[in-house]
Amino acid sequence: MIEQVKKFLGLSRRKTGNKLIISVEKLERRVALLEDGQLEEYSVERDSSRNIAGSVYKGRVKNIEPGLKAMFVDIGLEKNAFLHFWDAIPAALDSGIEEIERPERPDRKRSNKKRLTAKDIPSIYPVGSDVIVQVTKGPIGTKGPRVSTNLSFAGRYLVLMPFSDRSGISRKIEDPKERARLRKILRELDIPEGLGVIIRTVGEGQRTRYFVRDLSFLLEQWSRVEEQIKELPAPARVFEEPDLVERTVRDFLTDEIDEVVCDDHAAVERMAEMVGEISRRAKSRIKFYDGTAPVFETFGVQKQIDDAFHRQVWLKCGGYIVIDETEALVAVDVNTGRNKGGRDVEKTILQTNLEAADEIARQLRLRNIGGLIIGDFIDMKNRRDQQMVYARMRERLKRDKAKTHVLPLSSLGLMEMTRQRAQESLSDSIYQNCPYCEGRGMVKTAMSTSVEVHRTLNAVMRRYQDTVHDIRVILNPDVLKRLKEEDEELLIELERRYAGRLMFRADPTFHHEKFVVTDANTGAELKT
């Protein structure tokens, strides 16, 4: 019955035809995940704007703000990092992790540490003291990075937490027998005192020796970080999160990936070396692309990227969604578009909303959109239909690596959700505000600018009617065309009223809204 419901909702996962396409260029590295030819994940990294989320720093407390319950930490970047008091307290395991009690060992003493509260933080980290932090959110806009003292290091199958003695298993692993097997493995792992580990979702079905090897690698990594902490004076970076290619191998190269295609020899060799010790089968899936056309064009990735990042995104049914990113939130509007359907209007609306839920979840990942998101779905009268759209959205968001939270549809047909923002959205990192419209997306019409020209000329000619008789106006060609074709009589009337002469010169470099009024003889600008 469950499988039938999943099939009806379109939730069955396809496990064939999945490819990772990697393009390595001098200025930029790009990774695309294709599932049966459709773009599902897309990441971009540049050396000039390297993502620092996950990197660890030895910082120094610069100042404490009791009102904000936070402190600002110098970690060697342009802007000080923001450390909230709650992020400086040892954190409990995430709700998506089942905590597993590890057996007591004779060589371990029971911890009787006092539980810390926010009030204790200023005395533990006074101004001028050193603090070890990990970036949880990179710099966004005018804000500096956000950091936490709760460190974590991700391996292939495990996550190591150096400052926590709690361990657990990802709840995304649902099979009871598999969870029982992993609990047994976790309890048998030789985890040093004071450290904790989490078994990642990709650990499902893996052999014990893979976890042992992964733990050994993570412990060696932490040992190197500890040495850096002792040797380097603050502020200093003591651990750098791997680059995009290495993170891709770590997070995406699972049994569900059939092929990895990369256009760079060095990157192919590095990836093969990383996975070779773990799996020969995985190593054989990594292939070098030496075609003449760019790899993204050969596999149809570039066209999908171009189509997906438009403000208006079409759905298969003929409907479409419109995505607008604002300062406060991201608004997504759902429309039926060309999907007029037949006689059953409710079925048409449901189909459009279900496809919109699929596409919204996909777009959030592709564009790396974070913060508050509001989805304005087409109104549905049937409560069952509303629940189906909500269930569809929740299921699609499960695959998102960023933390998400979604609420059921409101009575107004709105679906509210939040998505973890670890770094700038893709549009913020790739685009800048248009210097022409300054980010508004609109400019004044030629008529509006024409009205302002008339208003300014009237004021200038009145002010200078006794001293300046020849006036030149420099403006955009489109506005000049409007003045000559539709407003010429008004200009002649101005000349008669103030006994002056008006001359116009078009300058294509002028902004649509810009114009300058000067003395035609001296070239001096005339002000109102």
Domain end, chosen from 298, 326, 345, is at 298
360 and 458, same domain (yes or no): no
Alpha carbon distance 218, 155 (integer Å): 7
Tell me what percent of the chain is helix, strand and coil, each rounded to the nearest 5: 35, 25, 40
Q: Is the per-residue pLDDT at 520 higher than 70? A: yes
Tokens of 251: 């997070």
Which CATH number fits the domain that encloses residue 15?
3.30.420
Stretch 410-428: mean pLDDT, rounded? 83
Range of the domain at 32: 2-47+259-298
What percentage of the chain exceeds 90 in pLDDT? 41
DSSP letters, 272-338, are HHHHHTT-HHHHHTEEE---SS-HHHHTTHHHHHHHHTSSEEE-TTS-EEEEEE-SS-EEEEEE-TT
* 16 is a domain residue: yes
pLDDT at residue 5, as a whole number: 35
Q: Is the per-residue pLDDT at 144 higher than 90? A: no
Alpha carbon distance 99, 431 (integer Å): 42
Q: Compute the mean pLDDT over every residue in the chain, rounded to the nearest whole number.
A: 85
pLDDT at residue 244, as a whole number: 84
pLDDT at residue 396, as a whole number: 92
Tokens of 49: 């704007």
Closest by CA to 43, choosing from 273, 419, 305, 406, is 305
* 458 is a domain residue: yes
57 and 183, same domain (yes or no): yes
E runs forming strands in 36-193? 38-46, 56-65, 70-74, 81-84, 97-100, 130-137, 146-148, 153-154, 158-161, 167-170
pLDDT band at 133 (very low <50, low <70, confident <90, very high): very high
SS3 48: helix
Q: Is the per-residue pLDDT at 4 higher than 60? A: no
pLDDT at residue 376, as a whole number: 95
End-to-end CA distance of the chain: 78
39 and 59, same domain (yes or no): no
Cβ–Cβ under 8 Å, residues 84 and 66: no
Alpha carbon 300 to chain centroid, angstroms: 23
Q: Is the per-residue pLDDT at 116 higher than 80? A: no
Alpha carbon distance 337, 225 (integer Å): 55
Residue 113 neighbours by CB under 8 Å, 6+ apart: none
SS3 229: helix
226 and 272, same domain (yes or no): no
* 252 is a domain residue: no
223 and 363, same domain (yes or no): no
How many structural domains is the chain composed of? Answer: 4
172 and 204, same domain (yes or no): yes
Which CATH number fits the domain that encloses residue 453?
3.40.1260.20
pLDDT at residue 350, as a whole number: 92
* 159 is a domain residue: yes
* 525 is a domain residue: no
pLDDT at residue 279, as a whole number: 66
Alpha carbon 485 to chain centroid, angstroms: 48
420 and 456, same domain (yes or no): no
E runs forming strands in 66-145? 70-74, 81-84, 97-100, 130-137
Rounded to two decimals, the pTM is 0.71
Cβ–Cβ under 8 Å, residues 32 and 21: yes
Consecutive H or E run containing 9: helix 2-9
Which CATH number fits the domain that encloses residue 152?
2.40.50.140
pLDDT at residue 113, as a whole number: 58
**Number of separate helices (H) and strands (E) present in the chain:** 15, 25
153 and 230, same domain (yes or no): yes
pLDDT at residue 239, as a whole number: 92
Cβ–Cβ under 8 Å, residues 237 and 57: yes
Task: Note the pLDDT tens digit of each residue in 182-221.
Answer: 999 999 898 888 899 999 888 888 889 889 988 998 999 9
Alpha carbon distance 76, 85 (integer Å): 21
88 and 136, same domain (yes or no): yes
* 421 is a domain residue: yes
Return the higher-pLDDT residue of 108 and 331: 331
- Strands 259-262 and 286-288 come out as parallel
286 and 319, same domain (yes or no): no
Domain end, chosen from 430, 460, 481, is at 430
* 501 is a domain residue: yes
* 348 is a domain residue: yes
Task: Note the pLDDT tens digit of each residue in 251-277.
Answer: 766 667 888 999 999 999 888 887 776
Give the strand order in the sheet containing 404-406: 312-314, 320-325, 330-335, 371-376, 414-419, 404-406
Task: Note the pLDDT tens digit of each residue in 478-516.
Answer: 999 999 888 888 899 999 999 999 999 999 999 888 999
Residue 170 neighbours by CB under 8 Å, 6+ apart: 96, 97, 98, 198, 199, 200, 201, 203
Task: Note the pLDDT tens digit of each residue in 57-85.
Answer: 999 999 999 888 899 999 998 889 999 99
Angle, helices 446-463/477-486, rounded to nearest 10 degrees: 80
Half-sphere exposure of 386 (CA within 13 A, CB side): 16
Query: Cis omega before residue 235 (within 30°)?
Result: yes
Cβ–Cβ under 8 Å, residues 81 and 171: no
Cβ–Cβ under 8 Å, residues 408 and 440: no
Instruction: Give the type of residue at 162.
Output: P
pLDDT at residue 1, as a whole number: 37
